[in-house]
Chain A
């Protein structure tokens, strides 16, 4: 019985979509655009979040020291640095090694230190921590004790810029959500207008249906299904667009840093399903909005 009812809704919705394909296409394109823009933000932020998460796992605290001498194994700083259980390793970087690393990383400016008599960069201790096992307060206390040591020039905490990146992700996510929501609202009203127009075109039929004993569910059901189909098609179109964009940009993921950060991976199946669900719900909501009692001549 339920299958028959749904089959009826589907058949009627298909006929309606076929008859009014031009206006339906407008609704589908608008919903696709809103989901595409929302999906683009989702794609970028999900990739960025993944990268930040991996960086977070590799987060290090760099303790810059006043001279090579204090970096010896028996130094007080080293003892403080390696004391906590969540410190998984401490690597001593001498001033010479720091310069060597700098020259390797920035070869174009290696000539900069050519005639320097002293080492330009301070020695440091790179402390790897198991970030999952650390309480924020413990970590802060530990950093305070390090910073108060006279041998320590500066403590560079990776978490600072990771926090900034996370804030950026939050802003991007919020921006994507706002833009997506605004466009989705526009799409809902477009779908509502399209379905209202269809219902108006079918008003005589609706009256006949009502007179022969059709329930409201039977009268409205096909319109609801029509809205859902429009939303679903919009969602599919948006996903196709996103995947097309991903295929074009993804080759750059392995060659450029930005590519790697932003388009290394496509959206997860859950995210894709969410886009389809959002499109369908927008379509359904548009249909419900358009078929209030007064719209159907009750």
Chain B
């Protein structure tokens, strides 16, 4: 599904963001991409949806070399990949419904059809009742759910998330993580970047670790919480708290 072959990325100032990174993420897999700030996580994710181009190596998404896609075709690649950002990146002047149904709109879907689709997607993330609200009327957790709904609306085969819990408090973070597991449970390949090792340790699964641009680990970690998907939020709260205090 996603394959990195000796990928390198350096920026104009000569700073090397990624160096000789290779891995293969299978269809339907859930993987954490961990590493400290500046390790290259965001760069790696940006390479997948072609916000930036690699300096070396090849990136295959669904068997297609992302770097060779012409500029005019990039939007079509991005429509197959759902992206969730740490800072939500919602359009503030549009309602939740409009934010979520933006992609169906530009795909030419009719108003009723896209409204129904947006409603169903928002219901999936538990926000159907906030369709008419504007982003600034929502809590951080709710905004992140809207972002996830927006990423899911076109039923992408791949969902990538860049520090999706970075701006959320611990309780909301676990809630969002559970959502990602649910999404993955329905067959979507998920690559989730985080600098919180506690999530990886607690949930387990495939773990790709970056350190100063190099892939230093590609392991399968045994989690010590079990199936979070079936757990309640209250149960999730007994999990080890991620280090540091975060507020919405």
A residues near B (Cβ < 8 Å) are 1, 4-5, 8, 15, 19, 204-205, 207-216, 218
Contacts and interface: CB of A to CB of B under 8 A. Distances in A.
B32 to A, nearest CB: 22
Interface stretch (B57-65, B104-112, B166-174): B104-112
17 contacts: A5-B108, A15-B93, A204-B91, A210-B78, A211-B49, A211-B78, A211-B89, A212-B78, A212-B102, A212-B103, A212-B150, A213-B79, A213-B154, A214-B102, A214-B103, A215-B75, A215-B106
Interface in B94-130: 102-103, 105-106, 108, 110
Interface residues on B, range: 20 to 34
Nearest to B89: A208
A19 B93 CA distance: 11
Given A8-B105, A207-B89, A213 B78 contact: yes
Contacts of B72: 215-216
Nearest to B49: A211
A8 B89 contact: no
B91 A208 contact: yes
Q: What is the predominant secondary structure among interface residues of chain A facing chain B?
A: helix
A210 B108 contact: no
A73 to B, nearest CB: 84
Contact of B108 (A1, A207, A209, A213): A1
A205 B91 contact: yes
Contacts of B31: none
Contacts of A215: 72, 75, 106
Contacts of B102: 209, 212, 214
A213 B89 contact: no
Interface of B: 49, 51, 72, 75-79, 83, 89-91, 93, 102-103, 105-106, 108, 110, 150, 154
A204 B108 CA distance: 23
A210 B75 contact: yes
Contacts of B110: 4
A277 B103 CA distance: 33
Given A4-B110, A5-B108, A213 B91 contact: no
Contacts of A1: 108
A208 B76 CA distance: 15
A213 B51 contact: no
A209 B75 CA distance: 9
A5 B77 CA distance: 21
Contacts of A15: 93
